[in-house]
Structures are given as structure tokens and as C-alpha cells.
Amino acid sequence: MTPDRSFTWDPDRYAAFTDERGRPFADLVARIGATSPDTVVDLGCGAGNLTALLARRWPQARVLGVDSSAEMIRAAPTGAGVEFGVGDLRDWSRPVDVLVSNAAFQWVPGHLDLLPRLLASVNPGGWFAFQVPGNFEEPSHTIRAELASEPAYVEHTAGVASPDAHDAATYLRVLRELGGEVDAWETTYLHVLTGPDPVFTWVSGTGARPTLQALPTDLRPGFEEEFKRRLREAYPEQDGAVVMPFRRVFVVARVRAT
């Protein structure tokens, strides 16, 4: 989601490195202590392959996956015990027992302002859990920003959506002030990636996608080749693989029972 210009998601490209993208979700959900919730919602569910894990964790619950991308919702699995629908997490206010958001808030500028309403939508004794990337100072992001600001491209890339998030301490402070019982932590995963230009493949499905889509067709190939070259320098291949450190920020808050 971007306030200035729209872009579309590619479910197939995003699905590259499914195991690596899915591990933070599993680590987040493992810390949710709910035993028998009636309603579980995944805000910003993407293509919904991870949302299905919520239905397995709580098979008795009504599980709903919501995403603002119609392309992602169309790719969501059927028959997984999950209902899917198009919606914007910025407008969410329905009561729920477990509210999960995985790698979505970083696309919403000012998302700290959403936390009071989202926490208030969780029923007493319920759980609010989310995870966001915390790697925005890594070369995978800084190289894209530097290249996009060069004279050949800046006319087209200025103002494109760019992900951003806060550290665990900030989220902990805000949610504690709202009365939640909060567990917040950070983890850096060392993803071992293989294939041609794997870091480019990763970022082109996520953080770099709005920039790439903003470029006209005559400029995009040159941008991509230079982006790949700089990424290869920043993440050198060793023994047929590339190691990409990826810091993630996790927050699990429980609403006090009345």
C-alpha cells in the first residue's frame, strides 16, 4: 500500500523462497498463547499460504485472511479452512480473538497510529501479534534507494512506496502504554540463497517492486542489470550460495481480560 502511487503484487514472484519467508510467521505464531479462539484474522495475508497455518493451529476457529491486493487474494488457496477477502488493514475494526499481521505494516506510513484501534478490536483476553522487517539499512535496500535517486531514474522513482518500520522497543512502549501485556524481540536470520542473482529475486518480489514498476520499459532493464551487479558485490557468492542477513521485529501483545 502506498499513498502516492499504486503498484501490483506478483504472487508467483513473492512465493520465491517460501520457506525463508514463512519461518518468521511460524516463529511469531508460536508465541501466541491462545488456546480456543473463536475468530482469527490475518491482516495483510498476501496469497494466504501462511494463513492456512492458522487454521491448522486453531481448527475450531473461524479464520479470515484479508489483503488489499486483489491479485494476492485471487491466488489464495481454497479448501484450507480459511475465508479470504479484499480489504485494507487501515480500516480494520471488527472484533476478533486473535489478530495477526505478517510483514504488512512496513507498507503503511504512520502505522503506529493504527495500533490503538487495532488493539482495541481484540476481545478481552485476546492476542495481537505482528512481524515486520527491520533490515532497511542493509545493502538490499540502500543500493536500491541510491540507484533510484540517480539522474537517469529519479524522475520516475521519486515518491514511490518504500517500506519502513520501527524497532521492537518502540512497539513495546506504544502497546504497553495502551495497556497490553507485550512480548517484543528481534531476530536476524541468515538466509542461504541459491540460484541466479538470488538477492535480486528476493527484493524484486517485495521491497524493490514499487521502484521497478515505476520505471518505463526502456529504462527498467538497465536499472535491473546495475542493481544486480551492485547486489552481487554486496552479497558475494560462496560455495554456490549467497548469505543474506535479514533482521525481523516481532511483537505479541495480549489484551487484559476484564
Burial class for 258, CB neighbours closer than 10 Å (0-12, 13-18, 19+): exposed
pLDDT value of residue 7: 55
Look at residue 11 and tell me whether its pLDDT is greater than 60. no
Q: Is 48 inside a domain boundary?
A: yes
Is 2 contained in some domain? Answer: no
On whether residue 6 sits in a domain, the answer given is no
pLDDT tens track for 211-229 = 999 999 999 999 999 999 9
Place of cell 475468530: 39
- CATH number, domain containing residue 125: 3.40.50.150
- How high does pLDDT run on average in the chain? 92
Range of the domain at 78: 11-254
Rounded Cα–Cα distance for residues 47 and 49 (Å): 6
pLDDT at residue 205 in the model = 86
Domain count for the chain, please give it.
1
pLDDT tens digit sequence for 25-52: 999 999 999 999 999 999 999 989 899 9
> Is 248 a domain residue?
yes
- Is 122 among the domain residues? yes
Compute CA distances 79 → 82, 85, 199, whole Å.
7, 14, 33
- HSE toward the beta carbon, residue 126, CA cutoff 13 A: 20
Model confidence at 207: pLDDT above 90: no
Residues in the chain: 258
Residue 1 lies in a domain: no
Q: What angle do CA 160, 166, 167 make, to 5 degrees?
A: 145
What's the pLDDT tens digit per position in 145-195? 999 999 999 999 999 988 999 999 999 999 999 999 999 999 999 999 999
Q: Give the DSSP H/E element, type plus range, for residue 247.
A: strand 242-254
Please give the pLDDT value at position 2: 33
- Whether 1 has a pLDDT exceeding 70, the answer reads no
- Residues 6 or more apart from 10 whose CB is under 8 A from it? 71, 205, 209
| Residue 4: pLDDT band with limits 50, 70, 90 | very low
Q: Which of 8-12, 99-103, 216-220, 229-233 has the lowest mean pLDDT?
A: 8-12
Mean pLDDT of 57-83: 91
At 206, the pLDDT band (50, 70, 90 cuts) reads confident
Is residue 3 in some structural domain? Answer: no
